[in-house]
């Protein structure tokens, strides 16, 4: 995965001096030893690589990665990815509550949430939204915790509800979800960040945790 991590970034090219691929390797190997329950899972390379670009420091990147994977997003990057799968189902339940027409469209066409939002969650919007916007989201993520991911996802869906509802089939829905992460709404990061705290309305951790419990039990019962 080293060569697939930000291949267009000059600092990750093998010809760079210093080459951040080496730093990334060190951080990921160290984390694998530190958290043996997780080890290494695809997606972690992008998270760690982004942290390295931001901090320019190996140790700081390691501890921030540990905070994300160990505390803020538990079980996202474990072998079974149960935390990630659970939160995608939680988003589906939140959409039913807050944007029911979109939830009904997804259900009618048999589109599972994992097909349209898995990269949003596993990459924490890296290469999905503009860099400046992602950095602002990550600031809030470290400060307020995982509910920020739901706020961002719900805002994208709610703001583009009419556009998504134009979809008439399965591939069309998937395409709409790719398109809603582009355009001026997401590039104007200041107004976008204001929207994520107003558009979804009330969203407490108590509500999220209750939904997590229900969705996790459902996933476990399905095997």
What pLDDT is recorded for position 112?
94
Q: Which two tokens stand for residue 86?
A: 């659970």
Q: Which two tokens stand for residue 110?
A: 């048999």
What pLDDT is recorded for position 8?
82
Residue 165 confidence class, pLDDT cut points 50, 70, 90: very high
Residue 172 confidence class, pLDDT cut points 50, 70, 90: very high
| Contact indicator for 200, 154 with CB cutoff of 8 Å | yes
Q: Does pLDDT of 1 surpass 80?
A: no
| Contact indicator for 195, 184 with CB cutoff of 8 Å | no
Cα separation, 2 vs 13, in Å, equals 10
Q: Rounded mean pLDDT of 123-133?
A: 93
- Residues 184-206: tens digit of each pLDDT: 999 999 999 999 999 999 999 99
Q: Does pLDDT of 10 surpass 90?
A: no
Alpha helices by DSSP H, listed for 129-204, are 131-144, 147-159, 161-164, 170-179, 184-187, 189-196
Q: Which two tokens stand for residue 139?
A: 């600031």
| Contact indicator for 47, 53 with CB cutoff of 8 Å | no
Cα separation, 183 vs 156, in Å, equals 11
Cα separation, 46 vs 2, in Å, equals 9
Q: Rounded mean pLDDT of 129-154?
A: 95
What pLDDT is recorded for position 13?
82
What pLDDT is recorded for position 12?
83
Coil, helix or strand for 169? coil
- Residues 25-71: tens digit of each pLDDT: 999 999 999 988 888 888 899 999 999 999 999 999 999 999 999 89
Which domains are present in the chain?
Answer: 2-72 (1.10.8.270), 82-222 (1.10.472.80)
Q: Rounded mean pLDDT of 154-162?
A: 97
């Amino acid at each position: 995965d080293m060569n697939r991590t930000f291949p267009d970034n000059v600092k990750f090219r093998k010809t760079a001096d210093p080459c951040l691929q080496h730093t990334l390797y060190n951080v990921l190997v160290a984390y694998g030893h530190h958290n043996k329950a997780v080890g290494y899972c695809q997606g972690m390379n992008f998270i760690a690589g982004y942290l390295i670009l931001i901090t320019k420091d190996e140790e700081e990147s390691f501890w921030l990665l540990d905070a994300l994977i160990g505390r803020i997003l538990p079980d996202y990057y474990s072998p079974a990815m149960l935390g990630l799968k659970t939160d995608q189902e939680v988003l589906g339940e939140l959409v039913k509550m807050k944007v029911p027409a979109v939830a009904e469209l997804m259900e009618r066409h048999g589109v599972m949430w994992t097909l349209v939002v898995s990269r949003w969650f596993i990459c924490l919007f890296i290469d999905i939204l503009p860099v400046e916007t992602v950095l602002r989201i990550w600031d809030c993520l470290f400060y307020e915790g995982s509910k920020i991911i739901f706020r961002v996802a719900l805002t994208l869906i709610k703001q583009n509800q009419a556009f998504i509802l134009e979809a008439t089939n399965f591939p069309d829905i998937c395409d709409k979800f790719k398109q809603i992460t582009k355009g001026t709404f997401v590039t104007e990061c200041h107004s976008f960040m204001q929207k994520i705290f107003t558009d979804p309305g009330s969203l407490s951790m108590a509500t999220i945790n209750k939904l997590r419990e229900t969705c996790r039990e459902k996933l476990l019962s399905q095997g």
